[in-house]
Amino acid sequence: MGQDGILQPIGNRLALGHDVSRTFSLPLLAAFYPFLSASIPAKKGLSMTKDEILLAQKEFLFPAVFNYFKDPLVVSHAKDQYVFDIDGNQYLDFFGGIVTVSVGHCNDQINAKVHAQIDKLEHVSTVFVNEPQVALAQKLAQITPQQALRKSFFTNSGTEANETAILAARCYTGSTEIIALRHAYHGRSAGTMSLTGQSTWKLGPPQAGVVHAVNAYCYRCPFGLEYPSCEVKCAQDIEQVIRTTTSGRVAGFIAEPIQGVGGFITPPKEYFKIVTDIVRKYGGIFIADEVQTAWGRTGSKWFGIEHWDVVPDIITSAKGLGNGMPIGVTIARPEIADAMKGVTISTFGGNPVVTTAAKAVIDYIEEQNLLRNTEETGAYLRGRLIDLKDKYQLIGDVRGMGLLQALELVEDRRTKVPATAATLRMMEAARENRIMIGRGGLYGNVIRLSPPMNIGRADVDEFIERLDASFAKVEAAMLAGSQRT
Ligand code: PMP
């Protein structure tokens, strides 16, 4: 399995110990890789053909670098809400490079500022002061909830942002123990894999000092209860977790406001207030991992956690902040940032080109009033998805906020058996219908949608039409299959 979908097994690796772009026999290769078509000329400035790219990928990358689809989609270029493959097909992108292309591919306004900066100052490292990094940090301090989180530390990824947050929590509290949630995803370092709550993503030995509480997964309540009569038992249970599985003094609680890789699992409105009060009572701080939910994605607010009326102590983010440029950020209350005594450095963190891009993204979101767009267009998308749920039994749950919406697919609405195979078929059908969607969830049965935040209703209509056609195809195939057996 892959992080955001299924791993397509690599099978027998070819021992091409030479330049694949010049010498290989297509018929021979086609025997190994039936999806390879006749060699297709390079597109848009690419110097390799599709087949050469696919072969080089298999030969020279770790097989852990998984791809969607049996016949992997080789991307050539992209613009705004559209992605083009090397065969010249155009896709309407409703996944945004895994919740990352926040304001459209190769956005002209952002890229003009990036081009200007790259010609002016490309790198200097944080041991020399530079304006783009400081300007971004200042802007972030203005938009955090109640302007309470005022100091930033920049890195290159969400993983590093979370590592920094955990370190800061431990320095500030003097405690080491962290509470994380089941079904969470927090990164790929040893520490953040330990925080992660899905076996697929825990590759190495776990680090000590992390316990996992049950998450607020109302569709599959871990206590078998119904909201609201459950009185949000999953939140109340955190007190028992602290008292029975920790020393009773914790460094903090880390959670995604909406669990992203987990399948856009969205807690009820009381959840974070209850949990935060408990965690603070036992000396801990609250870290909101907003790698997927920040920057207006959830509609009307800059940060997802604002929908729960809680001010966290640290926010971490990455992905959408750079619209594709690699950036991670840990934003903390000043006293927590100040508690990280000593010195630390991230060579590329705060890079002037990347921070220029990030500041440009925030300015663009403001200028284009995208917080309103994610709320309004998100509500429209949600309505159209609910209509599809009425039409297709396969859809068990529609959830999310703003332009972060998911469909959980089940074989039977009563038993809720995860429809993992059907979800894979949906991925292929969606590709045939030229839309890009994501996959997630512990069982790989959740379709994740996170289009660029500047799309409009016409894009939603086009997308729904194609998604509808994809569901129709999958349901028809399933029906034909069940009639045969
Ligand atoms: N936290 C969350 C919520 C994420 O979704 C991810 C990435 N999927 C990460 C952390 C890790 O980010 P990165 O891949 O940039 O290290």
User: From the CA of 435, how far away is ligand 1's center (Å)?
Assistant: 23
Do the beta carbons of residue 154 and residue 377 sit within 8 Å?
no
Q: Which pair of structure tokens corresponds to residue 333?
A: 């209350």
Asked if residues 66 and 7 have their Cβ atoms less than 8 Å apart, the reply is yes
- Residue 485's pLDDT band, with cuts at 50, 70 and 90, is low
CB 330 within 8 A of CB 164: yes
Is residue 289 classed as helix, strand or coil in its secondary structure?
strand
For 278-326, the pLDDT digits (tens) are 999 999 999 999 999 999 999 999 999 999 999 999 999 999 999 999 9
pLDDT, tens digit (0-9, with 9 covering 90-100), for 389-423: 999 999 999 999 999 999 999 999 999 999 999 99
Helix (H) or strand (E) holding 237: helix 233-245
Question: Element (H or E) spanning 435, and its range?
Answer: strand 435-436
184 CA closest ligand 1 atom index: 3
Residue 153 in this model has a pLDDT that exceeds 50: yes
Distances (CA, A) of 75 to 85, 101, 368, 424, 440: 4, 15, 28, 20, 21
- pLDDT per position as a tens digit, 174-187: 999 999 999 999 99
Query: Who wins on pLDDT, 395 or 5?
Result: 395
Spacing, Cα 162 to ligand 1 middle (Å): 9
pTM for this entry: 0.91
- Phi-psi label, residue 166: left if phi above 0, alpha if psi -120 to 50, beta otherwise: alpha
The candidate with the shortest Cα–Cα distance to 361, out of 333, 403, 334, 327, is 327
The residues lining ligand 1, judged by C-beta closer than 6 Å to any ligand atom, are 157-159, 162, 185-188, 256, 260-261, 289, 291-292, 318
Q: CA-to-CA distance for 463 and 388, rounded, in angstroms?
A: 12
| Position in ligand 1 atom list of the atom nearest CA 293 | 3
Tens of pLDDT, residues 11-51: 322 222 233 333 333 334 444 444 444 344 445 677 999 99
Report the C-alpha gap between 406 and 449 in whole angstroms.
6
| Cβ-based neighbours of 204, under 8 Å, separated by 6 or more | 190, 193
Q: What is the pLDDT of residue 482?
A: 77
Specify the residue with its C-alpha closest to ligand 1, atom 1: 186
Strand partners of residue 212: 180
Ligand 1 atom with minimal separation from the 188 CA: 16
User: Exposed, middle or buried by CB within 10 Å (0-12, 13-18, 19+), for 355?
Assistant: buried
Compute the chain's Rg from CA coordinates: 23
| Residue 264 pLDDT > 90 | yes
Q: If you measure from the C-alpha of residue 73 to the centroid of ligand 1, how many angstroms do you get, rounded to a whole number?
A: 22
Closest by Cα among 252, 247, 270, 268 to 333 = 252
Q: For 58-110, what is each residue's pLDDT tens digit? A: 999 999 999 999 999 999 999 999 999 999 999 999 999 999 999 999 999 99
- 82: buried, middle or exposed (CB in 10 Å: 19+, 13-18, 0-12)? middle
The C-alpha angle 158, 162, 167, rounded to 5 degrees, equals: 150
